[in-house]
Amino acid sequence: MTSAAPLSPTETIDHPPEHASAHPRRWWLLAVISLTQLMVVLDGTIVNIALPAAQLDLGMSDGDRTWVVTIYALAFGSLLLLGGRIADYWGRKRTFMTGMIGFAIASGIGGFATSTEMLLAARGLQGAFAALLAPAALAILTITFPSGKDRIKAFAVFGAIAGGGAAIGLVLGGVLTEYVSWHWCLLVNIPIAAVAVIAGFPLIRESRAHGDTRYDIPGAVLVVAGLGSLVYGFAQAENGWGRPQTLVFLALGVVLLLAFVRVESRSNHPLLPLRVLAHKARGGAFLVATLTGAALLGGLLFLTFYFQIVLGYSPVIAGVASLPMTVTIMICAPLLSKVLPQVGVRLPMTVGPIIAAAGLFYMAAFVTVEGNFAAQVLPGVVLLGIGLACLFVPLQNVALSGVDEHDAGVASAAVSSAQQIGGSIGTALITAFYAAAVTTSVTSGSAQMEALVDGYSVAFVWAGALILCAAPISFFLISMSKKDLLDAPDVVHVG
């Protein structure tokens, strides 16, 4: 076979690769990887539900409460690309196991936290180990299902969990907080991790890149500092875009990331080979992932606020009210995986954002203070679920199609990093527009609840606008053919 990119002088073709044949227990392995993905996605929302109880128990300030969320995103988002390269060079199985065990230990520290400082340290450690775990898991999945209809089905399952896991986290977080303790919103990760480690150890085959595997230290420093500054800047933007702290960190992040691109273009062993991003369809997929992350996290956050603050739902009921989106994704994902080989990826990835935006615009138009869930929210949530399924099922296929195994880990990390940065950007943008809308509504004489609903409507409009931008990107940039979708990628094992 030939590689998708020329071999460097230090690389040689190694025949036959250890895992050239199909993994005999690949569907069991998919279950383990999916469990891992569920745990990482759950952690993004399950803690949000627990925060009010944790704040009261530990005596946290509002600023510290915000940092419980921000520090996880900061560590996770800034270290993802480095974690992907560690997976490529050190070994994906070894990185996966280390990340899983470390995540469980960090969750235990957080679950038994007796002070704000202890909880914040645990959340930072969770983010750091998640940055090892997430790209290693996706790289293992990419190598285990290299091509064909099995690959489409596998990524459909993975995508459905990525899309629906956030809502499941809201339900589970509500149940644990209301009936057990907020501590269990973190401790629940320990048994999940134990199952994944015990089941995954005999199933996962070790794989790593060979040849030139020197670490790009300047690139690593620049991208960690750049992404960290960007995530921190957007997190601070929730308190005001004009604040010097916000502007300085956003500007610093952009400058450092531009310097990172320049360094990578000149490096013989780049942390993120620019060929991973330069491919038109793959670059389009990264942009779509960013916009989807922005709309999904921003939209779900304010939908949860609407349920609990305006409608007065308990945490459990608020989580249950979010489930129709998850159920819709779970129903649509396997159906889409069956038709994807016939219709290709461009159609669902173009139509999906339009349907998802329609769902968000519907809620923006119809939510009220009185609140009729069946008429005002449910149709919008179902449309959102259909649209997200159309995106999540093909997205990973496109983003990782044709990537050399040498770069599988860092390419997987780039997808996760795009979604994470998108979520940070979206949350900050939508929060700023929401706050401005509430202020305007109060100034014009609206009652408090009416002002909040006006703010939520504006938040849903902006979330819809963000995801709608993914439609033209998919149409004009993503031209992956049905044959490319089914054919084996030209992957070389180098050594």
CATH of the domain at 360: 1.20.1250.20
In a domain, 126, yes or no: yes
Quick: pLDDT tens for 310-346.
998 887 888 788 889 888 988 888 888 888 888 888 9
Q: Are residues 183 and 254 in the same domain?
A: no
In a domain, 384, yes or no: yes
Which pLDDT belongs to residue 411?
79
Report the amino acid identity of residue 97. Answer: M
The Cα diameter of the chain in Å comes to 74
Which pLDDT belongs to residue 486?
54
Q: Are residues 235 and 318 in the same domain?
A: no
Which pLDDT belongs to residue 186?
94
Average pLDDT over residues 406-435: 81
Say if residue 231's pLDDT is above 60. Answer: yes
For residue 17, whether the previous peptide bond is cis, meaning omega lies within 30 degrees of 0, is: no
Domain count of the chain?
Answer: 2
Q: Read off the pLDDT band of 489 (50, 70, 90).
A: very low
Which pLDDT belongs to residue 255?
97
Residue 241 structural domain = 216-270
Q: Are residues 236 and 339 in the same domain?
A: no
CB 207 within 8 A of CB 93: yes
* Residues in contact with 374: Cβ distance below 8 Å, sequence separation at least 6, in sequence order: none
Which pLDDT belongs to residue 482?
60
Q: Read off the pLDDT band of 1 (50, 70, 90).
A: very low
Domain boundary among 239, 255, 270: 270
Q: Are residues 121 and 31 in the same domain?
A: yes
Which pLDDT belongs to residue 222?
94
Strand partners, 13: 494
Residue with more model confidence, 407 or 353: 353
In a domain, 81, yes or no: yes
Q: Are residues 384 and 369 in the same domain?
A: yes
Average pLDDT over residues 201-213: 83
Average pLDDT over residues 404-429: 79
Structure tokens at 319: 């989580």
Q: What is the DSSP string of 170-234?
A: HHHHHHHHHHT-TTHHHHTHHHHHHHHHHHHHHHPPP----S-----HHHHHHHHHHHHHHHHHH
Which pLDDT belongs to residue 11?
34
Q: Are residues 130 and 179 in the same domain?
A: yes
Which pLDDT belongs to residue 485?
59
Q: Are residues 250 and 386 in the same domain?
A: no
In a domain, 6, yes or no: no
CB 307 within 8 A of CB 313: yes
In a domain, 209, yes or no: no
Quick: pLDDT tens for 169-179.
878 888 888 88
In a domain, 168, yes or no: yes
Which pLDDT belongs to residue 61?
81
Say if residue 19's pLDDT is above 50. Answer: no
In a domain, 276, yes or no: yes
Domain boundary among 236, 255, 270: 270
Q: Are residues 402 and 470 in the same domain?
A: yes
CB 478 within 8 A of CB 398: yes
Q: What is the rounded (10 degree) CA torsion for 386, 387, 391, 393?
A: 0
In a domain, 373, yes or no: yes
Reported as half-sphere exposure (CB side, CA atoms, 13 A), residue 201 has a value of: 9
Q: Are residues 454 and 366 in the same domain?
A: yes
Say if residue 404's pLDDT is above 50. Answer: yes
Say if residue 492's pLDDT is above 60. Answer: no
Q: Are residues 284 and 383 in the same domain?
A: yes
Length of the chain: 495
64 vs 187: CA distance, rounded Å: 21
What is the dihedral sign for C-alpha 179, 182, 187, 189? positive
CB 412 within 8 A of CB 82: no
Quick: pLDDT tens for 239-290.
778 889 899 999 999 999 999 999 999 888 888 888 888 778 888 999 999 9
Share the mean pLDDT of the chain: 84
Q: Are residues 302 and 392 in the same domain?
A: yes
What's the distance, Cα to Cα, between the start and end of the chain in Å?
A: 15
Q: Are residues 194 and 66 in the same domain?
A: yes
**Which of 16-20, 173-177, 344-348, 394-398 is the least confident region?**
16-20
